[in-house]
Amino acid sequence: MKTKFTLLAVMLFLGFQVVHAQQNEECMTKLSIFSEYAKAKNYDAAFEPWMYVRTNCPKLHKAIYSQGAEILEYKIEKATGAEKVSFLKDLVKLYKERQMHFASNSPAGEFETKSCQLQYDNREALGLSDLELYNCFDATFNSDIENFTNPKSLYTYFSLMVDLYDAGSKSAADLFNKYDDVAEKLQTEVGNYSEKLNVIIEKEEAGTALTKKEGSYQRSYESYLKAYDQVASGVDKKLGDRANCENLIPLYKKGFEENKTNAVWLQRAAGKMSEKDCSDDPMFFKLVHALHEINPSADSAYFLAILKDKEGKSNEALAFYEQAVGLQTDKFKKARLNEKIGDKLKNKGRYGSARNYYMKSLQLNPSNGRPHLRIAAMYNSSANDCGDSNYNKRAVFWLAAEEALKAGRVDPTLKSSAAQTAAHYKAKAPQKTEIFQAGNAGQSISIGCWIGRSVTVPSL
């Protein structure tokens, strides 16, 4: 009896193995079929063999999910009504299946974000509320912020928060905290891509030809930086005047006692008041000194410099600015800090010192074109003061144009505005007839005063 039972078990096992092998063979065949159809964009023909593989062999190949998403996206585009909703829900399901079966290649920050964005883009068809959609993005942002990098989704996430705030479902504290979360994430991504692009820019500026691969990387990095720049502007525009001094000051007064030893809260509060020009209020003074007392940092030193500027103590302010730069260890943030200091000095008319800080910023982050435009603007403003003749004074505009063009060359977000600015400066410089009369085409003109640079007269 025991022998018969054992024999039956063996036969059943072997039968299972045969069936399993046959199923695997069928899956491989259908995988090949649907993959070829998908490559040819014949998604209708790909659908049935794809569904067989997805159902019976979900771990067989990642193409089940990458090409499967293409198949369902096609079906969604062609469908209407209940059928479209069915395909939408199935694509959401597919993203989860991918994370289940190919977890190492499917970070939640990327694929849950895709799912949330899909649902947002089709929110009316799916009947989803703003709160449900916000919670979808929020859960993903909090669980895997590192891979939550899609520019469009970062904007959607914050946009939903603003809509919920306007509807009375979220508090002002929720809104401003989320703004800081998203703004810091955007800054992190800009820093990451700037660092990658800087390596290529430095090679290019040194006169070394880029490889085809490096050229492709350059276009990709520039595309992302442009997208993040647009999102950052969109986020600021969406926030609008909701973050004004009338809203910020009472909020921070209310939360100060509870958070006076919370360095992150103090830094964000002081930062927001500085950004929104609320630094004249005593609350700013209170926040800054509390922050510097518990956690002396580049941020707190920078805020103290602002306070000294407000008091008219320029030398003390500059000392704190220098301290802020010295305390900052992050290369990208140090570049931003030098740029901010340059802006402060430029606004005070201290152009020589401002240029020094802009140049330091460019050394740290050469793919940021803003300092070039600031320097060009200072040259433009100084033209009347930095030449010994009308011709030489206007020659300064050539120098301003050259500097503006550098901005567009290194920074993808400024190509258009930099070209327009340079054209404006060139139009104010001596024209061909004047160059011919002066007889100095191709020669170098030394520019005095604080500028201390030379410019080459265009050849005729």
Residue 318 in domain: no
Q: What is the pLDDT of residue 1?
A: 52
Q: What is the pLDDT of residue 55?
A: 95
Q: Which residue has the tokens 């040194």?
A: 206
Residue 246 in domain: no
Q: What is the pLDDT of residue 23?
A: 65
3-state secondary structure 23-92: HHHHHHHHHHHHHHHHHCCCHHHHHHHHHHHHHHCCCCCCHHHHHHHHHHHHHHHHCCHHHHHHHHHHHH
Domain end marker among 157, 190, 220: 220
Contact call for residues 176 and 242 (beta carbons, < 8 A):
no
3-state SS assignment for residue 456: strand
Q: What is the pLDDT of residue 66?
A: 96
Q: Of 337, 333, 332, 336, whose CA–CA distance to 321 is shortest?
A: 337
In angstroms, rounded to a whole number, what is the distance separating the alpha carbons of residues 123 and 137?
14
Residues 6+ apart with CB under 8 A from 304: 288, 292, 320
Give the containing element (helix H, strand E) for 445.
strand 444-447
Residue 184 in domain: yes
Residue 106 in domain: yes
Count of the separate structural domains present in the chain: 2
Alpha-carbon separation of residue 425 from 74, 252, 345, 448 (angstroms): 50, 45, 23, 19
Q: How many residues does the chain have?
A: 460
Between β-strands 453-456 and 444-447, what pairing exists: parallel, antiparallel or unpaired? antiparallel
Structural domain boundaries, residue 133: 18-202+214-220
CATH number (domain holding residue 156): 1.25.40
- Alpha carbon of residue 13 to chain centroid: 56
Predicted TM-score (pTM) above 0.75: yes
Residue 375 in domain: yes
Residue 315 in domain: no
Question: How much is the CA Rg of the chain, to the nearest whole Å?
Answer: 30
Q: What is the pLDDT of residue 379?
A: 97
Question: Which pair of tokens denotes residue 255?
Answer: 């939360």
Q: What is the pLDDT of residue 16?
A: 39
Residue 296 in domain: no
Q: What is the pLDDT of residue 288?
A: 94
In angstroms, rounded to a whole number, what is the distance separating the alpha carbons of residues 149 and 228?
10
What is the distance between the terminal CA atoms of the chain, rounded to a whole angstrom? 108
Q: What is the pLDDT of residue 12?
A: 40
pLDDT along the chain (460 residues), means of 10: 48 43 82 96 97 96 96 97 97 97 95 98 96 98 97 98 97 94 95 93 88 93 94 94 92 94 94 91 94 91 91 90 93 93 93 96 95 97 89 94 95 92 95 90 91 91
Dihedral angle sign, alpha carbons of residues 156, 161, 166, 172: negative
Domain end marker among 192, 220, 248: 220
Q: In terms of DSSP H, where are the helices of 102-211?
A: 108-121, 123-126, 130-143, 151-166, 172-205
In angstroms, rounded to a whole number, what is the distance separating the alpha carbons of residues 142 and 131?
16
3-state SS assignment for residue 349: coil
